[in-house]
Amino acid sequence: MKKTTTKLADGRELIYYDADDTVVRDTADPRPLEPTSSLSEIRHDPVLDEWVAIAAHRQGRIYHPPADECPLCPSRDGRQSEIPAADYQVAVFENRFPSLAFDAAAHYEGDDGTGSGRTEGPLPHRGRPGVGRCEVVCFTPEHDHAFADLTEERARLVLDTWTDRTAELSAMPGVEQVFCFENRGAEIGVTLGHPHGQIYAYPFTTPRTARMLTTAAAHRTRTGRNLFEDLLAAERATPERVVIAGSHWTAFVPYAAHWPYEVHLYPHRRVPDLTALNEAERAEFPAIYLDLLRRFDRLFLEEGQTVQTSPTPYIAAWHQAPAGRADSELALHLELFTIRRTVGKLKYLAGSESGMDVFINDVSPERAAQRLREVAP
């Protein structure tokens, strides 16, 4: 893999990743852009003991532009995009409208930025600059394609890109966790149709990860074993919920799935993050992941159809240990789920889910796994 780092006209970093070491990426960004600034801050919720990002400047971000004005396509025919090159394989750049940014401290209007907070009545309100980084990952130059349309070689390049970004971002000052993910589909809230994902480098450990670590620690104390190793062993021993079983990875619908169609993908060897995968695990991942995505795109075929009228919306989320925690109890895994529950119907987060965090699933995990096995490409 060849990595080429350059700058966009406003100073944001742009990185090209290529499978071909001979490729030259030297096209400059000719746009007359002003330097960007982030007004992001994070505020502590004392009731739930978690941080919330406040990023009001994102209200002006680009929203559903026409295909010929897509900012993630290569620059062509005098139309300049976020990617100056006329072609690329995988490209990563700093988000122009980030939820977190390293320059946030320079624009913070709260207290001294130490997080000590200020007192308003009897409750100290803790806040600090939203220091971190948000990146956009463009999987392909083809606007009308999807991740599932990639070749195994190109999917491997994306995996290597995620791995490189995890290593680099984890080493940046103040970063506590790196999150690689893809939101796909208008129903999910995607504002740009071009196939892409994002990477967040958080200045704190996310609530979801903190909760998993607490649960894993309790399991270790109670049993002397690792929670995720036990979970994977139990699911692999239950064929009715296994969707794909490889030599190094297993994809399964969890016993207590929250979403109608939800699959977890684990390497058989417990590792804390993407950087710890070995070559055999990296080599097998593309075929299994592409197979999963293609099954998701066949879930809601109507009678007589071979291609869905509307592609399945989904979220694909990598769960990794906090930065620098090679000894973490958390196991690297990917969670893939859709908010669609049947043809033409979505699973909404209503009162129980949004108000109480209690999910009510409309599809049994065993039936979901059976359906995913049935729709193999």
CA distance 152 to 154: 5
Which token pair is 132?
A: 């971190």
Judge contact between 75 and 86, C-beta under 8 A: yes
Relative orientation angle of helices 207-223 and 227-236, to the nearest 10 degrees: 80
In terms of Cβ atoms closer than 10 Å to its own Cβ (0-12, 13-18, 19+), residue 352 is: exposed
Judge contact between 341 and 362, C-beta under 8 A: yes
Judge contact between 87 and 74, C-beta under 8 A: yes
Which token pair is 87?
A: 């072609």
Judge contact between 231 and 212, C-beta under 8 A: no
**The tokens 């852009």 sit on which residue?**
33
Q: Are strands 242-245 and 249-252 parallel, antiparallel or unpaired?
A: antiparallel
Residue from 146, 160, 161, 117 nearest 308 by CA: 146
CA distance 250 to 134: 30
The set of catalytic residues is 196
**Alpha helix stretches (DSSP H) within the chain:** 152-170, 207-223, 227-236, 279-296, 356, 365-374
Judge contact between 20 and 154, C-beta under 8 A: no
Q: Is 148 helix (H, G, I), strand (E, B) or coil?
A: helix
Start-to-end CA distance of the chain, whole Å, equals 29
CA distance 375 to 173: 45
Which token pair is 95?
A: 């988000």
In terms of Cβ atoms closer than 10 Å to its own Cβ (0-12, 13-18, 19+), residue 58 is: middle
